[in-house]
Amino acid sequence: MSLQWEPAWKTIIIEVDGIKLKVQKDEVTGLLACPICGLGEKATYFFSERDLIKHMISHKSRQSRHYIPKEVIIGEEEN
């Protein structure tokens, strides 16, 4: 018996501040996975889109060259 849950990842589109992002959401727990960290051992999970975005912005300050991968961003609205 494992203590780990078995996630049912589904790709969803979230939109925060006019930026649409393609992220993985676990339909079992509702957790969102950071698309930059990925789903492997380095995965980072969030319950809210806001927290996920904050985390993704922190990637930018840590490693600006590896900010949000282009394939993750679906569209960006002009403000």
- Judged by the rule CB under 5 A, the positions of this chain that interact with Zn ion are 34, 36-37, 44
Contact 61, 6 (CB under 8 A): no
Burial annotation 59-70 (CB, 10 A radius, 16+ → b, else e): beeeeeeebbee
Nearer to Zn ion, 36 or 53 (CB): 36
Nearer to Zn ion, 10 or 66 (CB): 66
Q: Least distance from C-beta 58 to Zn ion, angstroms?
A: 8
Nearer to Zn ion, 10 or 62 (CB): 62
Helices (H), the chain: 49-62
Q: Least distance from C-beta 47 to Zn ion, angstroms?
A: 15
